[in-house]
Amino acid sequence: MPPRPSKVPDEYARRSVCRNHLKVYDGVARGSMRIHTWSNCEYRSMKYTCRYSHTIFNSKRILALGDGIIHLNYGYGFERYGAYENTRDGWDIEHNGVVLCSDGIGANFDLPKALLFAELQRGRTYKNAEPVLYEKKQTLCPAYQTGVCSYGSKCRFDHDLIDARRLEKLVHTTDLERGFDTFNFLTVECQISAGKSHWKITMKPDALQISSKNGQPIQTMPHIPTAPFSREGDDLLQVIRDLEMILAGEFSPGENTSNTDSNVNKVTSIPSASIFSTKPVTPAINPISSLSTTASAHYKKKRRLRIYEPETYPVKGKVE
């Protein structure tokens, strides 16, 4: 299927959140599709290929589910996560012990879709609901994702965005013949209290098995811990970086992996397992601070308008 016509460059689209994947389909599904719950993009993508990301999510969506303990569970199984007569990996979400998932009615293979189901069950969204507006661009900041962003909190890209593929790539299972067994790979735990969050990622035994051709688990990568382990902290992205460096053999599970500077959001080492380029980023001069007072105010006004400007583009062949 051809991609939907757009003026947005492919590279920018790939690191931007698909806004239609954040909303429940607002039309009337037909035929056998009526029994499923679809996102706006899923249902319409049968006529075009979406160029935007269905794996990037804003961590604020998790905090919005409410205080308590939230578990994001990543696993694999037969007819699990909405798969019909098939095996798939996917995500389930628990909030204070209550499982918020599709119950097999709709696919939740990607984490943003699993969050959409959780929001539906918690009443955070509904059909024809207005989209949630964020202050900053819902596009990954490449500099911050690799460890360095000289703009810090003044960056026009949202630093709360996480690509779920980085979590899924933490799983080190190479056995392609899993059959119809059920596997639980990892759990992302978020403790929320009074608007503050604390994150913990636990790697489970199924995620650390390196399998041979006959399906028997063997340890072929000595730097991978043999027992389950976890990392925790107040910054989810930093916790992911820590695990990437541990699994890459750069640090041990009990070693402190980071030395951060809150002013520039910098870490001392860039994980080799990252999905982004590890090319060093040269810190840039903040353009606002280098301007005069009058010019600075004018620049901020233009920059603010650019941030809030709706990203709408002419589309040919609109799908009803």
Asked if the model's pLDDT at residue 289 lies above 50, the reply is: no
- Between strands 56-58 and 161-163, the pairing is antiparallel
Q: What is the pLDDT of residue 38?
A: 78
Rounded mean pLDDT of 261-266? Answer: 36
Q: How large is the average pLDDT for residues 250-258?
A: 67
| Per-residue model confidence (pLDDT) at position 285 | 40
**Extents of the domains making up the chain:** 10-279
Name 100's bridge partners. 93
Calculate the average pLDDT of the chain: 74
pLDDT above 80 (res 296): no
| pLDDT band at residue 117 under the 50/70/90 scheme | confident
DSSP 283: P
Among all chains, which residue has been given the structure tokens 């006004």?
301
User: In this model, does residue 294 exceed pLDDT 70?
Assistant: no
Alpha helices in 236-279 (DSSP H): 236-247
Higher pLDDT, 185 or 218: 185
Q: What is the mean pLDDT of residues 2-7?
A: 68
Lowest mean per-residue pLDDT among 73-77, 126-130, 183-187, 286-290: 286-290
More confident residue, 230 or 218: 230
Query: What was the pLDDT predicted at 220?
Result: 52
Nearest alpha carbon to residue 257 among 273, 275, 279, 281: 273
pTM: 0.73
Res 130: pLDDT:
82
198: its two tokens: 């604390």
Q: What is the mean pLDDT of residues 277-304?
A: 39
- According to DSSP, the β-strands at 210-211 and 217-218 are antiparallel
Q: Quick check: 208 pLDDT over 70? A: yes
43 burial (CB, 10 Å; 0-12 / 13-18 / 19+) is buried
- Residue 149 tokens read as 């962003």
Q: What average pLDDT score do residues 157-180 get? A: 83
Give residue 163's pLDDT band: very low, low, confident or very high (50, 70, 90).
Answer: very high
- Arithmetic mean of pLDDT, 144-165: 92
Residue 205 CB neighbours (<10 A): 13
Percent of the chain, pLDDT > 70?
63
* SS3 letters across the chain: CCECCCCCCHHHHHCEECHHHHCECCCCCCHHHHHCCCEHHHHHCCCCECCCECCEEECHHHHCCCCEEEEEEEEEEECCCCCCCCEEEEEEEEECCEEECCCCCCCCCCHHHHHHHHHHHCCCCCCCCCCCCCCCECECCHHHHCCCCCCHHHCCECCCEEEHHHHHCCCCCCCCCCCCCCEEEEEEEEEEECCEEEEEEEECHHHHCEECCCCCEECCCCCCCCCCEEEEECCHHHHHHHHHHHHCCCCCCCCCCCCCECCCCECCCCCCCCCCCCCCCCCCCCCCCCCCHHHHHHHHHHHHHHHHCCCCCCCCCCCC
